[in-house]
Structure 1
């Protein structure tokens, strides 16, 4: 099986590529902007015609699109998260219409959740801000493409390599900088929100299962930890792993992207039914992997 991973050096793309390379019988092709790519491509700028030519040469049986942007202005987010999947779908229809497409979406597409409830794939989408809106546009491009495609709507991934554009990666960086200084003060935003955290290794396992599952799959599958956890618990857990001896102050409002969403929790029952997937790692294990910086299965 020839599997092309787009965004292979990114946070989740790195985990997916690593897991695929341990899969017997899989030939993994790396796609993206980074040096060493088998298919050099930037989904934000490539034309559908050029990408179709590249895909015709690569002859993939499956494409896993891990390329995405979490930070930047609305235009940059739209180029990667909305235009990118649309161009990819157009090129696949032309060059490899029988290939399966696995696209990584985001639980941010749902927008604010109802406290105490977990959202299913049938829930209405009301994204807050450009990130969630552009990820939803990418999902729509995939689910209406007519391809053998599935969107994995991922919760808040935690694990090795987490970028500083998200809270887990930013907290790890701040704690490394603070060290064991008892006078250190970390001034953060409001940490009272609840989030559904999922280990990055579990996300990678879901992507591999979706890439190799027989037959058509549901158009959208939630991939989450299944619990709404106070963000404050994640921060305290990381601080404990770091041996942080200073003080954490919640002195500012939350970010524009996350502040309006006080509750997020995904129901991943459908992923269990379709893929046999359930989260295998606890949040504590995900935080340990993040802090240690290693990627172990």
Structure 2
């Protein structure tokens, strides 16, 4: 089976590519802007015809799109998160119309949800940020394409290699610096009152591999998360415990994330269990321990998908 991974050098894409390499019978191909990619292009700007020519050469049986932008201007977000998936779908229609397409969406597409409840795939999508809106446009491009496709709406991934653009990776870097230079010092963080559904990046990779290789058509949307919401404060305290840091963590209650209008996120994951036989296999404690013990914190290019601390 030939599987093409777009964005294999990003955080989620790297874990997904690693998971696929371990599967017997899989021939892995990569596409993107990295010099080592088998197919070189920028999904945010490539023309459909040019991309179709590259896809035709690769002749994939399945494609997973891990490319996206979390920050930057509205134009950057739209190019990567909205235009990119639309161009990919058009290229696949002409070059690989029978290939399975797995696209990584975001829980930010839902926007505000009901406090204390799990959000199912049929909940209305009402994003409150430009990021969430651009991701929703990309999802609609995929679900309306007529291709054999599924969008995995991922909650907040955490685990080894978390990029410094998000809270887990940034705090890990700050704690490493503090434990080296001032173990009894202070680390400052923003408002940690929001609740988020954290899922291990390795579990996301497993879900993507299952979706790519599933023998039958899948629903257009599947939530991928832990099914539990915890305060951001729990993540910070858990990472502090994993690090052994003995100083103080100061929470600046006036500092808010990108979407303070979303105090609660928690995904219902029963559909993924039913359709894929998938379930999260790592606790938040295990994810934070793996994040801390991993070698360094990896940066990600602007147009690679990164963790969004505000959803």
Q: How does 1:1-297 map to 2 (within 5 A)?
A: 1-179=1-179, 181-293=182-294
Q: Indicate the residue corresponding to 2:304 in structure 1.
A: none
* Cα pair distance change 1:53/1:9, threshold 3 Å: same
Q: For the residues of structure 2 that align with 1:72 and 1:174, how far apart are their CA atoms?
A: 23
* Cα pair distance change 1:294/1:215, threshold 3 Å: farther
- What residue ranges of structure 1 are gaps of 5+ in the alignment? none
* Cα pair distance change 1:218/1:137, threshold 3 Å: same
* Residues 19 and 204, structure 1, Cα contact 8 Å, conserved in 2: yes
Total equivalences in the alignment? 295
* Cα pair distance change 1:228/1:4, threshold 3 Å: same
1:169 deviation in Å?
A: 1.1
Give CA deviations for 1:231-279 in whole Å, capped at 9, x if unaligned: 1000001011111111111114344423221100000000001000010
* Residues 128 and 257, structure 1, Cα contact 8 Å, conserved in 2: no
* Cα pair distance change 1:244/1:133, threshold 3 Å: same
Q: For the residues of structure 2 that align with 1:85 and 1:33, how far apart are their CA atoms?
A: 16
SS of residue matched to 1:55: helix
For the aligned residues, what is the CA RMSD? 1.3
Quick check: 221-230 or 124-133, which moved more? 124-133
Q: For the residues of structure 2 that align with 1:255 and 1:133, how far apart are their CA atoms?
A: 20
* Residues 60 and 99, structure 2, Cα contact 8 Å, conserved in 1: yes
Give CA deviations for 1:20-70 in whole Å, capped at 9, x if unaligned: 000000000011111110111210110001000000100000000011111
- By relative contact order (CA 8 Å, sep 6+), the higher-ranking structure is 2
* Residues 113 and 264, structure 1, Cα contact 8 Å, conserved in 2: yes
Quick check: 77-86 or 195-204, which moved more? 77-86
- What residue ranges of structure 2 are gaps of 5+ in the alignment? 297-311
* Cα pair distance change 1:20/1:53, threshold 3 Å: same
Give CA deviations for 1:121-147 in whole Å, capped at 9, x if unaligned: 000011121111111111000000010
SS of residue matched to 2:151: strand
* Residues 121 and 222, structure 2, Cα contact 8 Å, conserved in 1: yes
